[in-house]
Amino acid sequence: MLVGIVGKPNCGKSTLFKSITLANILIANYPFATIDPNKGFGHVSVPCADKDFNVQCNPRVGFCKDHVRFVPVEVIDVAGLVPGAHEGKGLGNKFLDDLNHADALIHVVDASGTTNERGEPIEGGHDPLKDVEFLEDEINQWMKGILMKAWERAARAAQQTHLEPFKLIAKQMGAFDVTEDLAKELLKKLNFGPEITKWTDDEIMTLIKTIRQTTKPIIIAANKMDLPGADVNLARLKEAYPGYAIIPISAESELALREAANKSLVSYKPGDDTFEIIGALSDAQKKGLEYIKSHVVEKYKGTGVQVLLNTAVFEMLKYMAIFPGGVNKLADSNGNVLPDCFLLRQGSTALDFAASIHTDLAQGFIRAIDVRTKKTLGKEHVLKNCDVVEIISSK
Ligand SMILES: Nc1nc2c(ncn2[C@@H]2O[C@H](COP(=O)(O)OP(=O)(O)O)[C@@H](O)[C@H]2O)c(=O)[nH]1
Ligand SMILES: [Mg+2]
């Protein structure tokens, strides 16, 4: 799973990326470094199962603090999109290509309205509502460009060879993981005519929008909530886009708090709705943190950054966290307690879980056990968030 951070220049993408990926790298325990400087690991958080068993876990990756388990999720900071990017304007197509691999997008909007559509400071303010439309339009246009590549010839050829429309769409949009099944499902809903060459431009755009919503769902991060006027724009955004998840955040505040926490100046973990100053601070540092407390953390019950990532992964992409464990012991052969926590699609069964650990486990699947209740679970049993599951397999 890969979450892409997008938005116009200077909306705060890199600040958000930095704050998300600045887990204390020592406790997060990554044995590898990413080569791409714009890619890194953030963490979604779930109540850790270790608490229910009165133990302290030892995560292989990620970390656990106060029985909150932080599970890694890959994120990418996609460089600024400007109007016309799909035509190669600004940094253009390379960055749109970066998006190809993302399963979901966080659209960072400068809710303070202090920068224009190219990210330049602006007197008198800019309406952030416009940013939402422009970004979706850019992505739609770009996807359409890909579909329309050699479209006329492909459509004609498909018609002559009686290739079914969904097969053509899957072929043209393969880069976005549009499978034949998905294309079939989407086209069934849209109910276009059977002759592909007669599809209108509007129909094609409707298809593109549907593909975009399915393969690149967008969550909106209303950033810079620490600045005056952002609260008014947040309310306007919510009113204008009722179907969207819109999360108020202050990326800069989160970054400051994580940095201070890593230096033991404050007691704070991502997602907390308060923090405590514990170290010796200069007057300027103290003032800065007090501002963050009164203008962000107390007002919005946190900086919003953890809520943002959790909402993207658990609500928008509909994942859940599952812990492998044993009824007789929760540790692996090295004595590490509950070392793993997997993110699986909601609706996954005990068999899906076995397969996600190892194909052998699935092939030899005998039964699963809910480690908390010790109840036997069959292949088709649908798991729920934070379950601890043992797989009994003949292989
Ligand atoms: N006040 C405020 N400024 C922010 C926030 N997040 C980012 N910024 C500032 O906005 C400017 C652009 O941020 P940056 O992350 O480089 O934007 P990018 O171009 O989208 O990557 C920088 O001066 C940041 O310090 C925030 O939450 N509050
Ligand atoms: Mg940047």
pLDDT in tens, 332-348: 999 999 999 999 999 99
Considering the domain delimited by 2-125+217-314, tell me its CATH architecture: 3-Layer(aba) Sandwich (3.40)
pLDDT band at 62 (very low <50, low <70, confident <90, very high): very high
Domain 140-211 fold is: Helicase, Ruva Protein; domain 3 (1.10.8)
Q: What is the mean pLDDT of the chain?
A: 91
SS percent in the chain: helix, strand, coil, step 5 = 40, 20, 40
pLDDT at site 139: 87
Enumerate residues with CB within 5 Å of ligand 2 (an ion): 13-14
10 alpha carbon to ligand 1 midpoint, in Å? 6
23: pLDDT strictly greater than 80? no
Ligand 1: atom nearest CA of 249 is 27
Tokens standing for 48?
A: 């850790």
Ligand 1 pocket mutation pick from 11, 13, 15 by most atoms within 8 angstroms of CB:
15
CB 260 within 8 A of CB 266: yes
261 alpha carbon to ligand 1 midpoint, in Å? 20
pLDDT band at 69 (very low <50, low <70, confident <90, very high): very high
What separation in angstroms does the CA of 133 have from each of 5, 118, 202, 237?
16, 14, 17, 11
CB 247 within 8 A of CB 308: yes
Give the CB-side neighbour count of residue 110, counting CA atoms within 13 A.
24
What angle is formed at CA 106 by the lines to CA 104 and CA 109, rounded to 5 degrees?
A: 155
CB 348 within 8 A of CB 382: yes
Tell the residue nearest (CA) to atom 9 of ligand 1.
Answer: 12
pLDDT at site 123: 80
288 alpha carbon, closest ligand: 1
Lowest mean pLDDT among 11-15, 25-29, 123-127, 325-329: 25-29
pLDDT at site 92: 54
Tell the residue nearest (CA) to atom 11 of ligand 1.
Answer: 10
256 alpha carbon to ligand 1 midpoint, in Å? 12
Tell the residue nearest (CA) to atom 3 of ligand 1.
Answer: 224
pTM, 2 dp: 0.92
pLDDT in tens, 165-219: 999 999 888 878 899 999 999 999 999 988 888 999 999 999 999 999 999 999 9
pLDDT in tens, 104-127: 999 999 999 988 888 888 887 899
Mean pLDDT of 264-290: 95
16 alpha carbon, closest ligand: 1
Domain boundaries, the chain: 2-125+217-314, 140-211
176: nearest Cα among 97, 231, 67, 294:
97
pLDDT-above-70 percentage for the chain: 93
